[in-house]
Every structure is written in C-alpha cells, then in structure tokens.
Amino acid sequence: MAETLSSALDITQDCIVDIPVQPAPFIPGSANLLSKFPTRISKDCWELWEFDSFSADGELALGCSLYRDARGVEKGGFHAEVNALWPDGKHWGKTLFFAESIINLENNVRFEVPGELEASVEFSSTSTTTPVARFPNSDIEAQLCPDVFYMFPMGPIAASVGATISVPFDGTNGQRTLNITAKEGGRGGMVRGWSSKAWPTFLNDAYYLVAHLGPYHLQMLRILGTVFSQHRSGVVARLYYNDRLVGAANAIHGPEFLTDLESQLVSRDTVQVVKVVPDPDSAEPQGLPGKFRDANIGYTLKILAVHHQKLWKFDIGHKRAIWSEPTSAPGPDGTGKSGWIERVSGGMEGERYEGIGFGGQLQIPVP
C-alpha cells in the first residue's frame, strides 16, 4: 500500500492569527506538496492545490481548487472552488466551505458534499523527465514574483474523472454525471501555490492555461503587478514535447522580445504573453470575448528555450465559457474572472498543431 501523508487545519481551533506567519522553507528538487503553513496561518497567508481536467474534445471539464486561507472564515472556513462543464453547455459551479482542511498526498482527489456533489479525480503524470529534473532546483526558480511560489509539479497528466452532481435545471433538481477517461484522451494539470502575501499586493490581472496539442503539453500562469509591487509582472511556464520537458520559464518579456532574441540578449527561458482584442472595425466574427472590462478574445504566447535555442508560438482563442463572475461593482469598468475551454494551436516555425486547453483569467479592482 502506498504511503499517505496528511496535513490538517481546523478553523475552530484558533489556527488563524493576527501576526505575520512565514511559510516553511522551499525544498529544492521536490514537489513541495505538504503544507507550508502546517499549524497556523495569518489573514494574508494562503495555499493552493488545484486540479484541472478536460476531455480530448473539450466537451467535458472539471476544475477543483482547494484553498487554505482566511478569506472564507465568515462563511464557515476554508474553501474549495469547483466547476463542471457538459457538452450541452450546462455549467455547475460552487464555492464550498469547510471547517477543516485536510490534504492527503495521493494520486487522486476525492470530495463529497451530501446532496450536491460526489467526485473522484485521478491524475497520472506521463512525463518522461525525472522528477528531480522536473522540479525547481531553488526557490528563485519556483517564484512567480518575490515571495510568491507557483509550481506545476506533475507536468503532463493523463486524467480520469468520475463525478455525480446535483444540478438544478428546468425548474427541478436532478443529477448529472461527468466522466472523463485517460484512455479516451483525458488531460489535465496540477498547480501548487503558496505565499504569506495577500493577493492584491502582487497582482491585479492574471491568466492561467493548461493545454495539450499534438506532442505538446503547456502550462502557464502570467500576472500583471499592482502599485504595491511596482507593477512588476511575473510568469511561471512549463513546456513539454513528447512528455519531455523542453522549456522552463520564470522570466517574462515585453514587446522587444524578438528583437532581443535576434540580438542574443535573452539569457534564460522566457515567455511573452499578448492579449488578442477584437477589431472594432471588423464585421466578421472574431471570437468569444469576456463579459467584463477585459474583453479579450484570446492570447498569443511565445516561449523561448535558451538551452535548445528554440522558439515556440501558440495562438489561444476562447472556445467555450465555463464560468463568469464579477470581482467589482457592475459598470463599463467592472472587473471579473472568467473560465474557458480554449482552442490552442501552434508550435515551432512550420508547425501547426491544434488542441484543447483549460484557461482562467482574472482582474481585480486594484491599481
């Protein structure tokens, strides 16, 4: 029987304190899955274990984000955000609150809310890159920005999901099942993050993507910083080719990306992310926009791997909406968060692979 490791916090046991709490040290060459705040957290601390899965055609998807932080104390405790999508466009999403947060280190996630949700998610890494080579070797390599850590420890994932969800439709409550199988091309991604910094102090805009297309597996998180972080941008990106890690970037580049590349001024794996916005003068359909101030229809992503001296370009377009929720008061400058099934295409020069991704974008009303 495989060893199981566990970490638990109980919201009723005074585990949230008013003084700063520093995380446990980063462990080089490790997935760092165990809690970094094992006995208590401050009101700014947070930890994340996220599991996203989707079918090969993008018709089915299930995302689950497990948070250990103080944001939900007044509603009952720690929280999990769960979103499900079916082929007919039906979406079920809910934030669930729990007094106790228990993390068991296994290769699957099981959760149950009586009368609402019962689900099991099993992830299997298909990476041929050894874990030691796949994991960051230093805390700097694991940082999205100073003192904020994000990792994609499992790399490319074959995903299997079995879920039964009570969904209100046609004025009644009924049950729907959602099944994604690895044998039929189910894919996914796992995210591990933590910090003692509150979210608004380091980001006001974020985009996350996990995608599979042809021989490529891509996972990326890009943020734009706030006035509290001198508007510093940050990124964590990993690119696999035939399940082998070929690009590991924690550096983000601006519009001068290609000029600097040709001048050999780029010295480490680097990412450029550009939003694609609708052309107001075009009468042709241009894509699916967001519902808030950020009405982009997709992104263009470039990744440079210095060691391999290779450049990849991927075009990302919103294919199907999963969730859409405001983060500010309504209005023309209203902000929000949106989840998407993404249409992803590209590769190296001369390649044009096509595939599917699971994406999420966020804006919050912070300068």
d(CA 306, CA 214) in angstroms, rounded, equals 22
Which of the residue ranges 19-28, 114-123, 196-205, 337-346 would you say has the lowest mean pLDDT? 114-123
Confirm if 305 and 341 have CB atoms less than 8 A apart. Answer: no
* pLDDT tens digits, one per residue of 61-84: 999 999 999 988 888 888 999 999
Percentages (nearest 5) of helix, strand, coil residues in the chain: 10, 50, 40
Tell me how far CA of residue 342 lies from CA of 56, 339, 358, in angstroms.
12, 9, 6
Answer whether 0.85 is exceeded by the pTM: yes
Stated as kind and residue range, the H or E segment containing 262 is helix 257-262
Q: Report the pLDDT value the prediction gives residue 246, as an integer from 0 to 100.
A: 95
Q: Report the pLDDT value the prediction gives residue 3, as an integer from 0 to 100.
A: 36
Three-state DSSP class for residue 1? coil
d(CA 193, CA 123) in angstroms, rounded, equals 18
Does 214 score more than 90 pLDDT?
yes
Q: What is the mean pLDDT of residues 324-344?
A: 93
Which of the residue ranges 145-149, 291-295, 326-330 would you say has the lowest mean pLDDT? 291-295
Q: Which residues pair with 66 in a beta bridge?
A: 49, 80
Q: Which of 98, 86, 83 is nearest to 51 (CA)?
A: 83
Higher pLDDT pick, 161 / 167: 161
Which of the residue ranges 150-159, 276-285, 286-295 would you say has the lowest mean pLDDT? 276-285
Q: How confident is the model at residue 4 (pLDDT cuts 50, 70, 90)?
A: very low
Q: Report the pLDDT value the prediction gives residue 19, as an integer from 0 to 100.
A: 93
Rounded-to-10 torsion of CA 226, 231, 236, 239: 120
Strands 148-151 and 143-145: antiparallel
Q: What is the mean pLDDT of residues 264-274?
A: 79
CA 67 to chain centre: 13
Does 201 score more than 90 pLDDT?
yes
Tell me how far CA of residue 350 lies from CA of 299, 308, 313, 347, in angstroms.
20, 17, 10, 8
Q: Report the pLDDT value the prediction gives residue 264, as an integer from 0 to 100.
A: 52
Q: What's the first-to-final CA gap in the chain, in angstroms?
A: 51
Stated as kind and residue range, the H or E segment containing 190 is strand 187-195
* pLDDT tens digits, one per residue of 241-261: 999 999 999 988 765 545 445
d(CA 260, CA 46) in angstroms, rounded, equals 36
Does 181 score more than 80 pLDDT?
yes
Tell me how far CA of residue 242 lies from CA of 213, 239, 270, 315, in angstroms.
10, 10, 20, 20
* pLDDT tens digits, one per residue of 6-33: 778 888 888 899 999 999 999 999 999 9
Q: Is the CA virtual torsion 94, 325, 340, 367 positive or negative? A: negative
* pLDDT tens digits, one per residue of 298-316: 999 999 988 888 999 999 9
Q: Report the pLDDT value the prediction gives residue 25, as an integer from 0 to 100.
A: 94
Q: Report the pLDDT value the prediction gives residue 202, as an integer from 0 to 100.
A: 95
Q: What is the mean pLDDT of residues 201-230?
A: 95
Q: Report the pLDDT value the prediction gives residue 254, as an integer from 0 to 100.
A: 67
* pLDDT tens digits, one per residue of 102-133: 776 665 677 778 888 888 889 999 999 988 78
Q: Report the pLDDT value the prediction gives residue 2, as an integer from 0 to 100.
A: 36
Does 143 score more than 70 pLDDT?
yes
d(CA 208, CA 211) in angstroms, rounded, equals 10
Q: Report the pLDDT value the prediction gives residue 247, as an integer from 0 to 100.
A: 94
Q: Report the pLDDT value the prediction gives residue 1, as an integer from 0 to 100.
A: 29
Percentage of the chain surpassing pLDDT 90?
Answer: 63
Q: How confident is the model at residue 5 (pLDDT cuts 50, 70, 90)?
A: low
Q: What is the mean pLDDT of residues 195-204?
A: 95
Does 172 score more than 80 pLDDT?
no
Amino acid (1-letter code) at residue 233: S
